[in-house]
Amino acid sequence: NAGVMQNPRHLVRRRGQEARLRCSPMKGHSHVYWYRQLPEEGLKFMVYLQKENIIDESGMPKERFSAEFPKEGPSILRIQQVVRGDSAAYFCASSPRGGGTEAFFGQGTRLTVV
């Protein structure tokens, strides 16, 4: 059973471009969480999704950021018109049930905006 798969592992974007980060949860997991980590800081919650639904997006900036988890395919975190401050590691976690427990993390996508 493969773990949580995130791709790409590293992503470089110029200011103003779009970044798309993908997360494939573990088999049988229908709950996905996205977190952002700045260097030498803890992870900060962004958004919680269940299949085809956004459950909680209270941690996500109102502008430029969006997330989806379609019925088929991976969850996508999309950042439009990236700025230097978006440079960070973005982690996805999946769990079989809601509740945040039993959450397994992917290896993350490291976004660098130049």
Partner 1 sequence: GESVGLHLPTLSVQEGDNSIINCAYSNSASDYFIWYKQESGKGPQFIIDIRSNMDKRQGQRVTVLLNKTVKHLSLQIAATQPGDSAVYFCAEIFSGSARQLTFGSGTQLTVLP
Chain residues binding partner 1 by CB under 8 A are 4, 33, 35, 40-45, 48, 55-56, 58-59, 91, 93, 98-101, 103-108
Least distance (Å) between residue 22 CB and partner 1: 15
Name which of 2 and 72 has its Cβ closer to partner 1.
2
Rounded to the nearest 10°, the torsion over CA 94, 95, 101, 107 is -30
Ramachandran angles phi, psi of 42, nearest 5°: -75, 170
CB of 101 to partner 1, least distance (A): 6
CB of 104 to partner 1, least distance (A): 7
For residue 30, give every residue at least 6 positions away whose Cβ sits within 8 Å of its Cβ, in sequence order, or none.
50, 51, 96
